[in-house]
């Protein structure tokens, strides 16, 4: 097991380093932020001074190694637009995104997996067909359109929930979050529901497919022949066997939800990292863009690493294959 963990850890380090190069080159090779920052009537001297101040007069490879040495020291640079530390700026917005993603993933998991398991257990029932029909909506309907429908229905027409913003923030277990207040919950429900629909549909279809396949296997037939009730067969045997693909998708979707919550945050004016990156792209705030993208890469690597470890615990064949 130790050899498996070390192998995956070394792979993760290599991936992060390679992706940092790709991200840095991709961001710094596009556009010129000085054109956005200064007044069009500014003199050439002012322009040159700003270029030297931000090190944009250096070759790209030298800018990268300067960035890398600063990262090693814990310095991710200064925002060109907000004129503040990128680390502080990103982490000040991160709690809002994390709580939105947490609620969205919880909704998708609590509803998606049981619904998919039931649809697989009773595949020909009316309820199962209805569940599968509704799950298609999560794949086929654009997120921003569903978001606007939710705002029109629950905020504008019914007036039950607010249309945007984060709401009041309180303290829960020593953490500042809007989930600690009733007003905060009223603000997070709509964007979290909007963000969860795609993941919910995916988990429903994945759980249903695994359930249908597992219920036709020999070990289920033998368990039934021994007189075990279906409830015990499903909970103790079937769910364990279909958990590996569910764990994989859950881990990957957790990362993608954090990375691509941009649309939902823009529609609902949610003050998270996604909204920040949209503003940074429009203003060519390169340090913020690079920091966000590298954090997303690190997040995906950590999640994949964790999923690999969970895999190894669930299926020893994965661990043995990795060791070889």
DSSP track, 149-209: HHIIIIIIIS--S-SSS----EEETTEEEGGGSHHHHHHHHHHHHHHHHHHHHHHHHHHHH
pLDDT at 318: 52
188 and 276, same domain (yes or no): yes
pLDDT at 315: 59
**35 lies in a domain?**
yes
**78 lies in a domain?**
no
CA dihedral of residues 114, 189, 196, 170 (deg, nearest 10): -100
**291 lies in a domain?**
no
Bridge partners of 171, per DSSP, are 176
115 and 61, same domain (yes or no): no
**79 lies in a domain?**
no
Domain of residue 236, CATH code: 1.10.3720.10
**218 lies in a domain?**
yes
Model confidence at 14, pLDDT cuts 50, 70, 90, reads: confident
95 and 212, same domain (yes or no): yes
262 and 139, same domain (yes or no): yes
pLDDT at 248 over 60: yes
pLDDT at 316: 60
Bridge partners of 175, per DSSP, are 172
**308 lies in a domain?**
no
pLDDT at 233 over 60: yes
Across the chain, mean pLDDT equals: 77
pLDDT at 32: 65
249 and 138, same domain (yes or no): yes
Q: What CA–CA distance (Å, rounded) separates 111 from 108?
A: 6
The 10 Å CB-count burial string (b at 16+, else e) for 294-309 is: bbbbeebbebbbebbb
State pLDDT tens for residues 142-159.
Answer: 778 888 888 888 888 888
Specify the number of domains making up the chain. Answer: 2
pLDDT at 320 over 60: no
54 and 110, same domain (yes or no): no
68 and 158, same domain (yes or no): no
pLDDT at 19: 82
Model confidence at 54, pLDDT cuts 50, 70, 90, reads: low
Domain final position from 41, 72, 103: 72
Q: What CA–CA distance (Å, rounded) separates 230 from 237?
A: 10
Model confidence at 46, pLDDT cuts 50, 70, 90, reads: low
185 and 226, same domain (yes or no): yes
Q: What CA–CA distance (Å, rounded) separates 244 from 213?
A: 14
**55 lies in a domain?**
yes
67 and 94, same domain (yes or no): no
**And the tokens for 164?**
């945007």
103 and 217, same domain (yes or no): yes
pLDDT at 1 over 70: no
pLDDT at 6 over 70: yes
Model confidence at 28, pLDDT cuts 50, 70, 90, reads: confident
Percentage, residues of the chain above pLDDT 90: 0
216 and 164, same domain (yes or no): yes
Domain range spanning residue 234? 88-282
Domain final position from 72, 102, 130: 72
Model confidence at 301, pLDDT cuts 50, 70, 90, reads: confident
* Mean pLDDT of the 19-48 span: 70
Residue found by looking up tokens 């603000």 in the block = 187
179 and 245, same domain (yes or no): yes
pLDDT at 287 over 70: yes
Nearest of 54, 133, 48, 52 to residue 86 by alpha carbon: 54
* Mean pLDDT of the 182-186 span: 84
pLDDT at 228 over 80: no
State pLDDT tens for residues 251-277.
Answer: 677 777 776 788 888 888 888 887 788
**315 lies in a domain?**
no
């Amino acid at each position: 097991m130790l050899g498996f963990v070390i192998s995956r850890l070394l792979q993760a380090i290599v991936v992060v380093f390679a992706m940092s190069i790709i991200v840095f080159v991709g961001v710094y090779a596009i556009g010129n932020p000085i054109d956005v920052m200064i007044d069009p009537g500014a003199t050439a001297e002012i322009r040159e001074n700003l270029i030297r101040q931000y090190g944009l007069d250096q070759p790209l490879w030298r800018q990268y190694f300067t960035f890398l040495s600063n990262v090693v020291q814990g310095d991710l640079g200064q925002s060109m637009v907000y004129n503040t530390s990128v680390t502080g700026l990103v982490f000040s917005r991160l709690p809002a995104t994390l709580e939105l993603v947490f609620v969205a993933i919880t909704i998708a998991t609590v509803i998606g997996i049981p619904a998919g398991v039931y649809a697989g257990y009773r595949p020909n029932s009316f309820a199962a067909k209805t569940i599968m029909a509704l799950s298609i909506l999560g794949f086929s309907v654009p997120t921003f359109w569903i978001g606007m429908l939710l705002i029109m229905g629950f905020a504008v027409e019914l007036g039950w929930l607010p249309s945007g913003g984060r709401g009041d923030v309180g303290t829960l277990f020593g953490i500042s979050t809007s989930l600690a207040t009733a007003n905060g919950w009223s603000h997070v429900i709509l964007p979290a529901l909007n963000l969860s629909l795609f993941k919910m549909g995916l988990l429903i279809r994945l759980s249903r497919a695994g359930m249908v396949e597992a219920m036709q296997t020999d070990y289920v037939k033998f368990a039934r022949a021994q007189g075990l009730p279906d409830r015990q067969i499903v909970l103790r045997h079937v769910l364990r066997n279909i958990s590996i693909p569910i764990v994989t998708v859950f881990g990957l979707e957790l990362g993608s939800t954090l990375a691509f919550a941009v649309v939902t945050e823009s529609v609902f004016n949610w003050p998270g990292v996604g909204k920040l990156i949209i503003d940074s792209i429009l203003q060519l705030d390169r340090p913020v863009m690079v920091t966000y993208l590298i954090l997303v890469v690190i997040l995906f690597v950590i999640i994949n690493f964790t999923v690999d470890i969970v895999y190894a615990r669930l299926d020893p064949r994965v661990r043995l294959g990795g060791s070889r």
